[in-house]
Structure 1
Amino acid sequence: MTDPTFEFSRAITRRPAASITHGLRAEDIGTPDLAQMQAAHDHYVSTLKNAGAEVIELPPLEDFPDSVFVEDTTLCLQPGAVMMRPGAPSRLGEVAQMEPAIRAVFDDVRQIKGPGHIEGGDILVTGREILVGRSDRTDSTGVAELTGIVADWGYTVREVFTPPGVLHFKTDCSLLDGETILSTKRLDASGCFKGYRVLHVPEGEEAAANAIRFNQFVVSPAGFPHTAEMLCQNGYDVVEINNTECAKLDGGMSCLSLRF
């Protein structure tokens, strides 16, 4: 019996475009280096393949600088997929660009029609529910529309709140297994993970909270040794990937793939 929250056979990624240098960012901490980002992206894709997945690699989209962050466009679940409606106006067009690839692999594809907004980076699917964090990119109307769609498939949505100044809910948390969450202390303090086993990223390593559990691996950003050690001590097989360039655009491990 597989666990649909972290056991996957396929993933979709998109190569970074040269226009990535114009990507959105909450604060300017430097311009991403395309060659470095591509090298890290190649390592990321090879890690998913090493975990046994077929990876569908889509070409770059020069008209959409942030399109490497495919997770925000779509929610992939076992019964079907839901095309999102990003809260950043410059990213709205990415959804239509992703839809043909999604329709090629899912029979049931639904759509967030609006007027609300919702992005995949605010959605955490656990073994018992779908947690959706309200943020600058996801509003209550978007959450309500998603709730109605996934109810058809037997899923329960619980709306939670992303800390102020944090771009996405999953900027501060990730799923380690069906019952275990990796989280910053500031997010866990809200009580949103009550009833789950929660592992806190160490002080000063909050950026390590955005990881992904993908089959046997926890794919984690490099440069956070205390988090990596803590995960290993808890029995997880950690693969560290350079995230310095994506971090300049507020991107992390979960943003770079759709997993199903």
Structure 2
Amino acid sequence: MFKHTIVRRPAKSMVEGITSAPELGKPDHALALKQHDAYIEALKACGVDVLVLDALEDYPDSCFVEDVAVCTRAGAIITNPGAASRNKEKDYIVDAVKKFYTEDQMAYITAPGTLDGGDVMMVGDHFYVGLSERTNAEGIDQFTKALAKFGMTCEAVEMKEMLHLKTGLAYLENNNLIVGGEFITTPVFEKFNRLEVSEDEAYSCNCIWINDNVIVPAGYPKTQAKVEALGYNVIVVDTSEFRKLDGGLSCLSLRF
């Protein structure tokens, strides 16, 4: 069960954030704030407290706070984001994370290792980490050693198409896994009860489980129906403005 979440408010500068889909247009900051408000309320409805951090105008993508830390039941790991324009965001999350962990429960990924939290999927005390354009082998090696100190394990996942591992995966606990795109045929995930997402709803792979609730993005009825069929309480949140920056539901919070 999760008790805590950390989010960061979207900066006005988000209109200049990184995107692989310029055809979607630039984000509307005012609408993004409203969507972020709804996201925070959804988190609270799942029974967690929410620490809301101020926007960082110097970092357009900084609302995607998941990428700068990985918070576990036993310790936290400050990452080293692989995108140059985002790398220093990690320096602004440390104080917030230290509100919940002691110094000996902290670890840090350092250069030449890179690691984005969006490439990390937690399944109990085992972690799957995508080897992506943002997360390299050295980063995964450091992450594995840090987890070992916390009594946890890790394995790397080869990937070729997705931005982040969790672009195409969402673990819903109880062995249930939302899976899409290239990960549908990845052997390591065959042992899970897989909810396959069709290409036309690919964005909806990025859902989040919190205390037997599942938050899903608005506009993807087939995925929503599959999650509801498993008995979860589903909360729908519109993330259209964050999608324009390649961001989804999991990207917007740290959950622990």
- Range class of TM-score, shorter chain: over 0.9
CA distance in 1, matches of 2:236, 2:123: 23
Q: Which runs of 5+ in 2 are unaligned?
A: none
Deviations 1:63-93 (A, max 9, x none): 1110000000000011110000000011111
- Equivalent position SS for 2:188: coil
Query: Are positions 1:104 and 2:99 aligned together?
Result: yes
* Contact kept in structure 2, 1:161 and 1:169, CA below 8 Å: no
Q: Which residue of 2 aligns with 1:225?
A: 221
Q: What fraction of aligned residue pairs are identical, expressed as a percent? A: 37
Query: Are positions 1:259 and 2:255 aligned together?
Result: yes
CA distance in 1, matches of 2:187, 2:200: 21
* Contact kept in structure 2, 1:33 and 1:245, CA below 8 Å: yes
Instruction: Give the letter aligned to residue 204 of structure 1.
Output: D
Q: CA deviation at 1:185?
A: 4.7
Q: Which moved more, 1:179-188 or 1:8-17?
A: 179-188
Q: 2:168 aligns with which of 163, 166, 172?
A: 172
Deviations 1:122-173 (A, max 9, x none): 0000025100011110011110110111111111111002232x21000001
Q: Which residue of 2 aligns with 1:129?
A: 126
Instruction: Give the letter aligned to residue 117 of structure 1.
Output: T
- Equivalent position SS for 1:45: helix
CA distance in 2, matches of 1:199, 1:153: 30
Q: 1:72 aligns with which of 67, 70, 94?
A: 67
* Contact kept in structure 2, 1:11 and 1:259, CA below 8 Å: yes
| Matched residue count | 253
TM superposition outliers: structure 1 runs of 4+ over 4 Å: none
CA distance in 2, matches of 1:228, 1:141: 37
CA distance in 1, matches of 2:112, 2:224: 41
Q: Which moved more, 1:65-74 or 1:191-200?
A: 191-200
Q: CA deviation at 1:202?
A: 3.0
- After TM superposition, list the pairs within 5 Å mapping 1:27-176 onto structure 2: 27-28=21-22, 29-107=24-102, 108-164=105-161, 166-176=162-172
CA distance in 2, matches of 1:238, 1:114: 40
* Structure with the largest fraction of helix: 2
* Contact kept in structure 2, 1:121 and 1:170, CA below 8 Å: yes
Query: TM-score by structure 2 length?
Result: 0.96
Q: CA deviation at 1:225?
A: 0.7
Q: 1:16 aligns with which of 7, 10, 15?
A: 10
CA distance in 1, matches of 2:181, 2:143: 28
Query: TM-score by structure 1 length?
Result: 0.94
Deviations 1:175-228 (A, max 9, x none): 111411111153120213132211111341111000000113101110001111
Instruction: Give the letter aligned to residue 7 of structure 2.
Output: T
* Contact kept in structure 1, 2:13 and 2:57, CA below 8 Å: yes
